[in-house]
Chain A
């Protein structure tokens, strides 16, 4: 069974390895793993679809994806968020092809079946003449995404009607989402539309990078150190806490240190601070005051980063932004990135502009940081497709290293927030928890 199929005993072996900080390299690229992930993870869990600020008025819609399921996300006539499979119930045509817009009804270009915002089939060309009165139109409504729920304006959908409630799934991540998304009176707004681009890598490589890998910054982003934009200290991104949360989620909070001369609240204008006091509890406020960078991943593939950067070159004042992105799995070795820039609706216009320029300069496909991430993630996928790396005989020499901090770094019980917090961000604890959750999902239905 060296190169054979996935079975329970193989997956059990992988789990044992993951718990000891090792991951077989084929986990990134094996086609059967990918198939199992679509079925056991993406079809069963919560998937991020969009932010409520993208669809504020009745009839506003955006088109999105859950892996390979096209989703039509809209606000209906009553102001309620609805999500449908974006496929006509007659012959399956993709119903809405626009990225966003506002409509009262959606008409299929194939035979003209028309659906209203509630998904009801309201129009059939030559209706009763061809189908008679006996066809029950209510049986042919748009198919709803089985579950749609929101938290702090973040809309998630699940293809699994028996999925746990979103808030249960997010669990302790909610506390940290509040810091990024719930600190202001009117929450966040998406600027423009999300950027989208393709990277030839595996979705876990990028999710793991954002989720649990501040260690990469010293080398991957060394160019910014050479330029004098990032601090010289190679431990710079380690100062803070790596917090392992339930369900495979994790967040790193890199904190400001007194010698860094970094403003509180990520440089958000002082006029906003009283809002933070209103909307965050004292513990959250305390953590947020000393936060410089947050970066993490909400299992499986919703990553976020909220760093502080300048807007152009050395000497530019630091500002911050909030960026969420989905790594949509296309194939074992390709993803579509959808990346949303969010900013506090209540922020002054000047801050919104600086925040936007800071994001575009550093992240997104042209970002001075993200350019190098994508290149390196591509190299991981490229080097993980050969015979040696596909060898399923799991032994030490054929696994990748997730050993950092294992049995070595203990949690800090004084951390005021929820989760298991370790007093450094140079640690593989979140990655190990991410892959543990991943393998448990695959094991759930394995025979």
Chain B
């Protein structure tokens, strides 16, 4: 799997999310995707693990992600009506593991900037993601995503977005 293809996959994904082209975004996800966002904690120096996996902000299947998308299309999902405006800035893409010719584990940084209505303040969410990307029938699919946010207290009022 070429690094270039992985980058194009992740940038395409970011662009679809920011354009709210959710059907095309869902098409990038494998039907058995595991999509999770565990909690970050501030830990003591001697406790190196600062991710708490038992509690998450997202723990999703393709079906539950589709339900979230369908909710945005109703007339009354007020968090996105009017819709918020986001930029998913995806950088520092590293292939951390190659699992054969058709699968890679990929780390990326993400910074999401969000604008809500006429509020000039910028909402931000940032962290790192570990993805498993696989080539299925010639096209790349996201098999797994784990988002590790950097904030222990999110400054976004809600996560009516995908990360």
Contact = CB atoms under 8 A, between A and B. Distances in A.
Contacts of B75: 222-223, 226
Interface stretch (B4-12, B17-25, B101-109, B147-155): B147-155
A368 B71 contact: yes
Contacts of A371: 77, 79-80, 158-160
Contacts of A227: 67, 70-71, 74
Contacts of B15: none
Contacts of A97: 42
Contact of A375 (B39, B58, B79, B153): B79
A366 B39 contact: no
Interface string B19-61: 0000000000000000001010111100100001111111111
A217 to B, nearest CB: 12
Interface in A346-395: 356-357, 360-361, 364-366, 368, 370-372, 374-376, 378
Interface residues of A, number: 45
Chain B interface category by residue count: 35 or more
A44 interface: no
Chain B interface helix/strand/loop/mixed: mixed
Interface string A192-231: 1111111110000000000000000001101110110100
A428 interface: no
B76 interface: yes
Contacts of A431: none
A195 B59 CA distance: 14
| Chain A binding surface, main DSSP class | mixed
Nearest to A313: B67
B156 interface: yes
Contact of B78 (A197, A200, A314, A376): A376
Contacts, number: 126
Given A99-B42, A360-B56, A197 B155 contact: yes
Given A99-B41, A195-B39, A312-B63, A200 B77 contact: no
B85 interface: no
A60 to B, nearest CB: 12
Nearest to A377: B157
Contact of B153 (A103, A196, A312): A196
Given A313-B66, A375-B158, A100 B41 contact: yes
Given A227-B71, A314-B67, A368-B68, A193 B41 contact: yes
Contacts of B70: 227
Contact of A192 (B52, B79, B152, B157): B52
Given A226-B74, A360-B56, A374 B153 contact: no
Nearest to B67: A313
Contacts of B60: 312
A61 B103 CA distance: 42
A312 B64 contact: yes
A365 B55 contact: no
A365 B156 contact: yes
A38 B120 CA distance: 29
A199 B80 CA distance: 16
A365 to B, nearest CB: 5
B59 A192 contact: no
B157 A313 contact: no
A356 B39 CA distance: 14
A101 interface: yes
Contacts of B37: 366
Nearest to B57: A366
A360 B78 contact: no
Nearest to B56: A360
Contacts of A378: 157
Given A101-B47, A372-B78, A197 B55 contact: no
A336 interface: yes
B55 A198 contact: no
A195 B55 CA distance: 8
B22 to A, nearest CB: 14
A316 to B, nearest CB: 8
A179 interface: no
Given A192-B52, A197-B157, A366-B58, 13 more contacts: A101-B43, A101-B47, A103-B44, A192-B54, A193-B54, A222-B75, A311-B64, A313-B67, A361-B64, A366-B159, A374-B157, A374-B158, A375-B158
9 contacts: A191-B54, A197-B155, A341-B55, A366-B159, A370-B158, A371-B159, A374-B157, A375-B158, A378-B157
